Structure 1
Amino acid sequence: MRRVLSLYLQYHKVQFKFLVCKMSTEERIAHSRNALIALVINNVENKLPIKEEDMRQILNKDISLFRQCLPLVMQSLKRVYGIILQKVPDSKKYICYSEITASSPAEYDEEQCRHLTLLFVILSYLLMKDCQVDEEQLFDFLKGLRIEMDEEHPYFGGNLKKLIADTFVKQLYLKREKSESDTDLETRYLYSWGYRATLEFPAKDVLEQTSGILGKEPREFVAVYNKYCVNEEAMVVD
């Protein structure tokens, strides 16, 4: 995937150099906007963050032009395609996602639906555990649901540990960090919600759906309900 992106960037960089010298300022901005939009749209499906460096490379590393075009790109993507381009906090990366992605299974193929089902299970568990657990605890929970990391699952498929610890992390659905505890004798990893998950899966919605699956009311999960729902309903549950 990275090699494909590299070839894509090289091609557009050559095209940009060839065309830009013949353009007016307005044409140059419009062409640059369209090139960035194409890059974003090509990235929607794999869900990997887009580096600002890669976006600028298409524009021959013209920072001023990039800053002019970025707001136009964001506006066009949202208006025409329903795609949100969002900067990841404290980084020079961007993610893109559809406004209807989380609520519309029709947006995904069969394998993606299965993977997102597993992701939802993990996010639900993290939510109920105050959004952070260690890796062993998470895998033990999944094992209790007969989802083994080292075995082929009849629904979710194989390579589940790689899917969780690598793919979901790179896509920013999950955050995987080393524990900073001085008492740990071995390296321990902690999982929490990633930035993309906070945008595509609002905690309130996850709580409501999880409660429905368990046949309970959201308010029965007092701590979680008070943390994520109280602002909207203005009622703290005791």
Structure 2
Amino acid sequence: MSQATSQELLRSFNISEDDLQKMVADAVFFLLTADQKKSIISKAALVKACDLSKRDRKLQDYVIKCGAQHLSNTFGIELRDLGKSTFILVNKLSENDVNEFLQWDDKEAAQMGLTFTILGLILMHNDKVTEENLFDFVKGMGVYDDDKRSNVDSEVLDMFDGDMRRFVNETLVSKQHYLRKERNVHIEDSEQFEYSWGERADAEIKQSLVFKMICEVFGCDPKMFKEQYERIKEKENLTDEEFANGV
């Protein structure tokens, strides 16, 4: 944006350059703070935090746009519009980014490791997994037990705030949106639920990355899982060569 255009906007909003910079700085601070919780961000909460509630809607949108540009240029973070005046902050993960997990503390590493594992489980079950299958799976990993006399180590439980079901349903589904939980509509009069990839997972994580990590665990060629391989390749519009090279 040219200097003349910028000054014209400031006059139309009846604010100074210092006023604008403070609003943008407040927006960036609010967004970065919200991202620590990996929560969905509402426009209403954002404009309130930046003292923009009574300002012109065009000014609100301009401050958010400037804040988004600053996040992208300075931190490499994308402000993704989810519609209905909601946003998430997205860090695009590449194969090399997986190594960044090693810089997290033990609790963060455990939680993200489990999240990736659950996403992989969903991926291998054709993008949906039942609630029963998901918790049977984590039970088999030794990090969950539905028995009140749980045999899971207390230190492991602490990694997930003492309650695996609550961690999955409140943290991964309701707060962070890595998972989506929906009632199985194919079974009438049923309270059976299914999990799939949530908005944040779709925005941040390539299915091909998770799929290749699974194949590395099993020590096999991705093409051995032909159905998943073809589905992911089509979804991400990849050739065999691009898939292999992680493009």
- What TM-score does the superposition give when structure 1 sets the normalisation length? 0.80
In structure 1, the residue corresponding to 2:26 is in which secondary structure? helix
Determine the structure 2 residue equivalent to 1:83. Answer: 77
CA shift for structure 1 position 107? 5.1
| 2:62 is the counterpart of 1:68 | yes
Partners of 1:59 and 1:65 within 8 A in 2: no
Determine the structure 2 residue equivalent to 1:34. Answer: 25
| 2:121 is the counterpart of 1:128 | no
| 2:203 is the counterpart of 1:199 | yes
* Whole-angstrom CA distance in 2 between matches of 1:46 and 1:77: 17
Deviation sequence 1:60-99 (CA, Å, 0-9, x none) = 31222111112211111111122222122x4321111334
CA shift for structure 1 position 122? 0.6
* Higher relative contact order, chain-length normalized (CA < 8 Å, sep 6+): 2
Structure 2 counterpart of 1:31, one-letter code: K
* Whole-angstrom CA distance in 1 between matches of 2:192 and 2:204: 28
CA shift for structure 1 position 171? 0.5
Compare 49-58 and 224-233 and name the one that shifted more: 224-233
Structure 2 counterpart of 1:29, one-letter code: L
* Whole-angstrom CA distance in 2 between matches of 1:94 and 1:140: 33
* Whole-angstrom CA distance in 1 between matches of 2:30 and 2:218: 41
1:114 to 110, 114, 120: 110
Residues 118, 74 of structure 1: CA spacing in aligned structure 2 closer, same or farther, 3 A cutoff? same
Residues 118, 80 of structure 1: CA spacing in aligned structure 2 closer, same or farther, 3 A cutoff? same
In structure 2, the residue corresponding to 1:116 is in which secondary structure? helix
Determine the structure 1 residue equivalent to 2:51. Answer: 59
Structure 1 counterpart of 2:88, one-letter code: I
2:88 to 91, 95, 119: 95
Compare 158-167 and 141-150 and name the one that shifted more: 141-150
- What TM-score does the superposition give when structure 2 sets the normalisation length? 0.77
What is the aligned length?
A: 211
* Whole-angstrom CA distance in 1 between matches of 2:221 and 2:133: 26
Deviation sequence 1:30-87 (CA, Å, 0-9, x none) = 2111110010111221111111110121233122211111221111111112222212
State, as a whole percentage, how many aligned pairs show the same letter: 23
Partners of 1:59 and 1:66 within 8 A in 2: no
* Whole-angstrom CA distance in 1 between matches of 2:66 and 2:102: 28
2:227 to 223, 229, 237: 223
What is the RMSD computed on CA atoms of the aligned residues?
A: 2.2
Determine the structure 1 residue equivalent to 2:37. Answer: 46
In structure 1, the residue corresponding to 2:59 is in which secondary structure? helix
Q: What runs of 5+ residues in structure 2 fail to find an aligned partner?
A: 1-13, 242-247
In structure 2, the residue corresponding to 1:207 is in which secondary structure? helix
1:210 to 200, 210, 214: 214
Q: What runs of 5+ residues in structure 1 fail to find an aligned partner?
A: 1-22
